[in-house]
Amino acid sequence: MSAPATTSALEVRGLTKRFGGVVAVDGCSFRAPLGQVTGLIGPNGAGKSTAIDLISGFKLPDSGTVLFKGMALQGLPPHRISRLGLMRTFQSPREWPGLTVLENVVMARWDSGRESFVGGLLGLRGAQRNTAADELSRAREILDEFGLLALRNERAGNLSGGQKRLLEFARIRMAAPELVILDEPMGGVNPVLGERMALAIEAFIAAGTSVIVVEHNLPFIKRVTEHVIVMAQGAVIAEGSFDSLRSNQDVVDAYLGEMVT
Ligand code: ADP
Ligand code: MG
């Protein structure tokens, strides 16, 4: 069975989610191109995080469709969606606090459905043991890339906020999903890490992971994205290159409330 040909990593059609009287996401539709970095921006309360929750199965939409690899994700729980190759991060980094940094990275593979690591640990077959050794060495290599190798035996819960972000990026590198959605990766992070994160995003793309990134840091959005989608009041109000949006009056107006407060 072959998947239908598509040039979208993700397509969202008419997503809607109400919380009581609040329409958090209101007929939101967009496509994120395959093999590119798509920015998702908009003022606080625009519905960006809720849209991510709907896409990744953490909340159920009232209506609308999410197509990933041409397949409707309707009703699938988060772990099934991540095993299909769609990962997401949260505004606050989430790690396994009691596990070591190295274990966290190795688990990223297991989380995304490659259970060979666990099979290898059980020692049932030589080939599986080799796989486990390969995965450990791959995890060390990735930690080195992110400057976290010296911390590999530290409990992840003891890391600083910035280090937890880097660990999250290392986990994405390890899992190598087809699409990752990053929710405000620069939030609370020392700007020095920004360049490292931008390079990591380039590495995701080089490894075949398409990226959607929600971020308030507009220089970062300009630096890393090829295409930007602007949300306001639950819907998409504009899209295009970052530079084309700066001269778009609707976009400037949507941001104004935030800029003057
Ligand atoms: P953004 O990520 O763009 O800042 P959110 O998706 O967090 O926006 O929020 C969109 C709107 O939905 C806001 O008005 C917010 O207060 C509301 N909202 C989000 N989550 C909930 C919830 N669990 N219950 C009630 N209202 C919510
Ligand atoms: Mg948000």
Query: Ligand 1 test: best mutation among 50, 58, 216, most atoms within 8 Å of CB?
Result: 50
How many angstroms does the Cα of residue 248 sit away from the middle of ligand 2?
A: 23
Q: Write the CA distances from 85 to 18, 129, 208, 244, integer angstroms.
A: 27, 24, 11, 31
Q: Does 93 sit in the ligand 1 pocket, CB within 6 Å?
A: no
Q: Atom 26, ligand 1: which residue's CA is nearest?
A: 19
What are the structural domain ranges in the chain?
Answer: 7-95+160-260, 99-158
Strands of 235-240's sheet, edge to edge? 86-88, 179-183, 210-214, 37-41, 227-232, 235-240
Strands of 8-19's sheet, edge to edge? 22-33, 8-19, 63-68, 71-72
Q: Does 40 sit in the ligand 1 pocket, CB within 6 Å?
A: no
How many angstroms does the Cα of residue 183 sit away from the middle of ligand 1?
A: 13
Q: What sections of 94-178 are H helices per DSSP?
A: 101-111, 116-121, 126-145, 161-175
What tokens were used for 110? 């297991």
Question: Could you identify the residue written with the tokens 């049932």?
Answer: 124
How many angstroms does the Cα of residue 24 sit away from the middle of ligand 1?
A: 6
Question: How far is CA 260 from its chain centroid?
Answer: 30
Q: Does 230 sit in the ligand 1 pocket, CB within 6 Å?
A: no
CATH topology of domain 7-95+160-260: Rossmann fold (3.40.50)
How many angstroms does the Cα of residue 229 sit away from the middle of ligand 2?
A: 14
Q: Maximum Cα–Cα distance for the chain, whole Å?
A: 63
Backbone dihedral region of 64: left (phi > 0), alpha (psi from -120 to 50 degrees) or beta? left
Question: How far is CA 242 from its chain centroid?
Answer: 20
pLDDT at 112: 56
pLDDT at 208: 95
Q: Does 22 sit in the ligand 1 pocket, CB within 6 Å?
A: yes
pLDDT digits (tens, 9 = 90+) for 195-252: 999 999 999 999 999 999 999 999 999 999 999 999 999 999 999 999 898 888 888 8
Encode burial over 139-169: b for 16+ CB neighbours within 10 A, e otherwise. Answer: bbebbebbebeebbeebbeebeebbbbbbbb
Going by C-alpha positions, the residue among 39, 42, 16 that lies closest to residue 29 is 16
Q: Does 19 sit in the ligand 1 pocket, CB within 6 Å?
A: yes
Q: Does 44 sit in the ligand 1 pocket, CB within 6 Å?
A: yes
Q: Does 48 sit in the ligand 1 pocket, CB within 6 Å?
A: yes
Q: Write the CA distances from 157 to 91, 160, 188, 198, integer angstroms.
A: 16, 8, 17, 24
One pLDDT digit (tens) per residue for the chain, 261 residues: 455 555 899 999 999 999 999 999 999 999 999 999 999 999 999 999 999 999 999 999 999 999 998 899 988 999 999 989 999 999 888 999 999 999 999 998 866 554 444 444 454 455 555 577 888 999 999 999 999 999 999 999 999 999 999 999 999 999 999 999 999 999 878 888 889 999 999 999 999 999 999 999 999 999 999 999 999 999 999 999 998 988 888 888 887 555 433
Angle, alpha carbons 241-242-243 (nearest 5°): 90
Q: Does 24 sit in the ligand 1 pocket, CB within 6 Å?
A: yes
Query: Ligand 1 test: best mutation among 15, 19, 40, 255, most atoms within 8 Å of CB?
Result: 19
Q: Does 47 sit in the ligand 1 pocket, CB within 6 Å?
A: yes
For residue 214, the ligand 1 atom closest to its alpha carbon is 2
How many angstroms does the Cα of residue 230 sit away from the middle of ligand 1?
A: 16
Q: Write the CA distances from 260 to 224, 242, 256, integer angstroms.
A: 26, 21, 6
Q: Which residues contact 158 (CB under 8 A, 6 or more apart)?
A: none
Quickly count: other Cβ atoms within 10 Å of residue 132's Cβ: 18
